[in-house]
Chain A
Amino acid sequence: MNALEIKNVSKVYANAKVALDNVSLDVPEGSFFALLGPNGAGKSTLINILADTVNASSGNVSLLGRNLFHERAWCKRRMGVVPQEIAFDPFFSPREILKFSRGMYGQKADDAWVDELLERLELSEHAHKITRQLSGGMRRRLLVAQALVHRPKLIILDEPTAGVDVELRKRLWDFMRELNAAGTTILLTTHYLEEAEELCDRVAIIDQGKVITSRPMKALLGEVASSSLCLSYDKPLQFSEEDKAVLTDFSPRVCDHQLCLTLHSQGKSLNFDAAYQAAMQRFGPPAGVEIRQEDLEDVFLRLTGDKI
């Protein structure tokens, strides 16, 4: 079953800005799903529609088989959202906030779970402070704890690691991996693409309110990402028209001392040996050889033609 089925969702804001244009996405249950896109692509709008802080202009969403717009309360109890903007209630301490949050989701108090969350998100020491005294990183972790306190089946994280240092980020992701392994579906937006590549098994890229691609991470990297054979030489290469014609199958690129030949791109595969031999014949034995694989960031930049 799909944890989320988003069907033809559009959002036009009051100022006529089209934030989402007929977006359809399936998030399989149990997946660790990366929703990527440049700034202003519509990621947060989509998440806010799921979270019920923005109304969709049209379309439909189902969560674990139920209609999100018609059975809001049922769906909300199974969903935990970490909003992008840091927000906290200045009157209460982290522990109180977590207790209230759990109660508001209709669940009986569970101090053990609250303690565990505080512990895992490294907030135990600060559990009794007034939230005003917490640092930016602590506040963001509190947001994560708040989204988890009612044990949702689907966790939605909108840029949860912005402003969180590397060490903590790693521990936060370890925690998310554990939850995912225990069956929780995780939908994540982030600007750290290497994190997404490492963590997520599915990925969707949206740009200007439209879905560009949505597929398993492996498939995206296997089919869309290209790989190249890069040969480096001792001296700068002179690249003639004839060289170009001979190597044309490999879409050669020359930069100073280096020649790169494409082995795999858009489902087309070429032989390593053939590429190596062809290069040898034109330029002689290289000083160094390297296989270069496009990573998620390269693919992302190519597909969106944009900055992250």
Chain B
Amino acid sequence: MSHFNIIGTWTLFQRESRRFLRVKMQTIVAPALTAILYLIVFRYAMGDRQVPSLDVDYFSFLIPGLMMMTMLQNAFANTSSSMVVGKIMNVHVFLLMSPISAGEAIFAFLAAAVLRALVVGSILLLVLLPFSELALTHVWMILFYGICGSLIMASLGLIGGMWSKTFDDMAMVNNFIIMPLTFLSGVFYSVTQLPPFWQAVNAWNPFFHLIDGFRHGFIGTGDSDPLQSMGAVAALTVVAVLSSWYLWRIGWKLKE
């Protein structure tokens, strides 16, 4: 018998991916529709307006940011809703009882969340790409930020899910932490448009680095130093993943 429970991990990954495929309307069709709405509002209302300080039109600037924001939210939703539903319906005991180690469980949960983020991101891109002059300038950068961002958010979703006792707790995490950080991260504007003080504050917002780096992969330029930002994102990914693994291992808020 293998030292690792490979079948178990694969099964858990399938379970966590089927969960979002089962509610396709919310998880796949809704983001596509949202993309179309953005297209109508921003592409046609804003016209060919340019982003100050960057040599791109506003719509091309906006797409990667929206895409990343949607991916981050979906990665977070996949793990957090599974954890909260599991706790409320008491099904998380089956996971605790099964011979799946903390590492294996975290791996399966994060992989399914990253898959969801990539699926949703790709749908958005496929819908919007024909209407813009966007190019996939640095694919490796897009993938690096896309995957790291999804991993960070999926880990936070797991931790938030472990912490939450009710759907209300979860909504609180989402509305008071995740939403403000994503909105203030420069999805809709270049941070160089902000006063210096807020620029300095924003340098500490991880979402800013995720979105700026991801966008850099498309438009070939950004508001921050790519090397520094990639280092910070990689470090944050490791910290987030290890934290969720550690908390799972000790059964934080899961086991008495």
| Interface of A toward B, CB cutoff 8 Å | 13-14, 51-55, 72-74, 76-77, 81, 83, 85-92, 100-108, 146
Contact = CB atoms under 8 A, between A and B. Distances in A.
B101 A53 contact: no
A105 B98 contact: yes
Contacts, number: 83
Interface string B179-213: 00000000000000000000000000000000000
A110 to B, nearest CB: 12
Contacts of B251: 55
9 contacts: A55-B255, A86-B90, A87-B94, A100-B12, A100-B15, A103-B11, A104-B8, A104-B11, A105-B99
Contact of A87 (B7, B18, B91, B98): B91
Interface string B2-20: 0001111011101100110
Contact of A83 (B8, B86, B93, B95): B93
Given A87-B94, A100-B11, A104-B95, 18 more contacts: A13-B256, A51-B97, A53-B255, A76-B98, A77-B99, A83-B93, A86-B90, A87-B91, A90-B85, A91-B22, A100-B15, A101-B94, A103-B11, A103-B12, A104-B12, A106-B8, A108-B7, A146-B94
B45 interface: no
B119 interface: no
A53 B15 contact: no
B89 interface: yes
B123 interface: no
Question: How many B residues are at the interface, by size bracket?
Answer: 20 to 34
B107 to A, nearest CB: 13
Contacts of A102: 11
Contacts of A55: 251, 255-256
Interface in B75-126: 85-86, 89-91, 93-101
Contacts of B85: 90
A54 B256 contact: yes
A106 B108 CA distance: 14
B255 A89 contact: no
Contact of B89 (A13, A54, A73, A90): A90
A83 B1 CA distance: 27
Contacts of A107: 7
A89 B89 contact: yes
Contacts of B93: 51, 53, 83, 87
A25 to B, nearest CB: 20
B113 to A, nearest CB: 16
A205 B101 CA distance: 33
Contact of B8 (A54, A86, A105, A146): A105
A85 B8 contact: no
Nearest to A107: B7
Contacts of A51: 93, 96-97
A158 B99 CA distance: 20
Contacts of A54: 255-256
